[in-house]
Structure 1
């Protein structure tokens, strides 16, 4: 509703109105125009000009948009960690994930180089995965910066382990496509086996947790990813 371009266009009076709305948005959504004018010490004409800058024909449309914004940003109910884990492990018991983990471990065991890639929270887990693998004797590297140059020696006889909840992250897909074209085998860990990332992988291990969002941020639990990474590393160690 308040884009950076619109905020930059505000004069001093309009900025004071904007600041008041930000601090009292729940109350403003139900105020009459005269009440808002009195609270911000401006005229009703100034309020109307402010509304027009927000692409609203009048004060009523402004209040309607503000209510919609408040409803969209209202705190959503977040599942307990126990609920998410039960959902994962119940589905794990009914899949061939153990076989997939063994196949992934065998593929990694034959590789000279193991590269973890991911973006955002998946990038943090890529770093953790590389450290965990290295700790159990299979030296690995991780890439979070997708402009980072990869030496040709690292790409020879390599396995790339790509992490992505959606399996549609454009940065991860771009980096993976380059590595795949240069001969790297691909193991992906995603939330959905029908995603683009899963489809272009040699092995995909999916975990099917209900995705959760809070104010447009994906907060889907990453514990299943940690479980799968550690399971593969331990299987490599056993082999």
Structure 2
């Protein structure tokens, strides 16, 4: 309701009204226009102009939209059922997941560089993954800023591992679409394989857990992603040991 473009369009008086409404939103939904004008120290004309900028025909429609906005953003209980995580670990006997992890380990082992890309919570996991892989002997980097300058030479003979719950993060899609033109291999780790990032990847690993949101925030469990990261790292480390043993012979 109050998006960036609308707030940018407000003048000083309308911004004062906006601040009052946000601080007293539960009271405002029941106020008459004259009551709001007196409380916020603005004219009814300012209120009607404010409503128009929010694409409302009048004050009555504004109050209806404000009430809906309030209901949508009310605190709700989040699911604390561990069955989602238990179900994921039960599915780990899946031979297809095991095969993909082994293929990915082989790709990482051959790559000149490993770069993890993601934003938000996925960006934090990218940082963890880069550190974890570097700890087991495969130096890796992470990019959690989709506007990070693109040095295409860096990505030659690299493997890019994109992380995204939805697989539809536009800035990540734009970034990896550009670097995919180089001699790179793109792998994605997403909640579902039926997403844009998965479809443009050379290899996708999906974990399928129930997606959860709290308002605009995605609070889907990231335990499956942590498992995938650490499983890849340990498999890769074991491959290094085997290769070292063969070389010493």
Same fold (TM over 0.5): yes
Q: Partners of 2:170 and 2:40 in 1: how far apart?
A: 45
Q: Partners of 1:176 and 1:36 in 2: how far apart?
A: 49
TM-score by length of 1: 0.83
Offset, 1:133: 0.4
Q: Partners of 1:178 and 1:38 in 2: how far apart?
A: 54
Equivalent pair of 2:34/2:44 in contact (CA under 8 Å): no
Q: Which position in structure 1 is the counterpart of 2:183?
A: 183
Distance 1:54 1:36, change over 3 A: closer
Q: Which position in structure 1 is the counterpart of 2:196?
A: 196
Distance 1:81 1:95, change over 3 A: farther
Q: Which position in structure 2 is the counterpart of 1:10?
A: 13
Q: Which position in structure 2 is the counterpart of 1:130?
A: 130
Offset, 1:234: 0.5
Distance 1:108 1:18, change over 3 A: closer
SS at match of 1:148: coil
Q: Which position in structure 2 is the counterpart of 1:160?
A: 160
SS at match of 1:54: helix
Give RMSD over aligned pairs. Answer: 2.5
Q: Partners of 2:86 and 2:65 in 1: how far apart?
A: 39
Q: Partners of 2:228 and 2:120 in 1: how far apart?
A: 18
Equivalent pair of 2:105/2:236 in contact (CA under 8 Å): yes
Equivalent pair of 1:6/1:53 in contact (CA under 8 Å): no
Q: Which position in structure 1 is the counterpart of 2:103?
A: 103
Q: Partners of 2:193 and 2:234 in 1: how far apart?
A: 23
**What are the superposed Cα offsets for residues 61-95 of structure 1, whole Å, 9 maximum, x if unpaired?**
23212111111212233222734422432444456
TM-score by length of 2: 0.80
**What are the superposed Cα offsets for residues 140-177 of structure 1, whole Å, 9 maximum, x if unpaired?**
1122334323362x433321111111212222222322
**Unaligned residue ranges in structure 2 (runs of 5+):** 240-249
Q: Partners of 1:179 and 1:81 in 2: how far apart?
A: 40
